[in-house]
Amino acid sequence: MISFQKIFGKTDVFYDLLEASVGQARQSVQALNKLLSQPADPSQTIDSFAATRREDKKITQQIDEALCRTFVTELEREDIEALANALYKIPKTVEKIAERVLISRERLGSVDFSRQIKFMDTAVDVVVTIISELRKKLHLERVKTLNEKIQQVEGEADKLILECLRDLYTGQKDAVQVIILKDLYDLMEKVVDRCRDAGNVVAHIVLKNS
């Protein structure tokens, strides 16, 4: 008997890989939260962040290879590629933040990153939810609700960075610390932006297939 699954490919492999990818994204954000909470801890290194990013890169490559081997996919090939690339950018951006924190930890002192941590946590958790439920054929309204939540977090993150920049520009910090913090604030906001981008891709996919 002919196995159509072998001919056309296993449709759920892409869901498995996308869920694995967003899992790496969440893991990277969780590790970053620990680092930002304890930047002076000498036991924390870049190794775990680099390993997470490499693992996600490997998953992205597996998605590309699976697309090459699969004739028919439940989701459009371009959408799968766009979502995989959007997810990969999350741990990639997180690794950049970790690198800068580790090389400037002596100058960070008692800087409070708790609000940035909250926004990144919330955004990546929503992305985890929206990806994990993608295979369940989410109703369009449910996807809109989740995507609107990410948009709201992104808007609040924008307001926060303006507040932080206003504080930096008061001149109460030395110039080097201002440069370091501005760079970090920009990258932290970009993590939320990357999550928003992934949410937008999922919303686009569900809209096309609804």
- If one compares 11 and 194, the residue with the highest pLDDT of the two is 194
Please, are residues 201 and 134 in contact by the beta-carbon 8 Å criterion? Answer: no
Give the whole-angstrom CA distance, residue 62 versus residue 68. Answer: 10
Give the whole-angstrom CA distance, residue 210 versus residue 190. Answer: 30
Give the whole-angstrom CA distance, residue 51 versus residue 42. Answer: 18
What are the residue ranges spanned by the domains of the chain? 4-209
Residue range 4-209, CATH number = 1.20.58.220
pLDDT in tens, 165-205: 998 888 777 888 899 999 999 999 999 999 999 999 999 88
- If one compares 102 and 133, the residue with the highest pLDDT of the two is 102
- Is 50 exceeded by the pLDDT of residue 2? no
State residue 138's pLDDT score: 65
How many angstroms from the chain centroid is the CA of residue 139? 23
Residue whose C-alpha is closest to residue 110's, from 40, 182, 189, 168 = 40
Longest dimension (CA), the chain: 76
The backbone torsions φ and ψ at residue 111, rounded to the nearest 5 degrees and listed phi first, read: -60, 135
pTM of whole model > 0.85? yes
CB-CB neighbours of 139 under 10 Å: 12
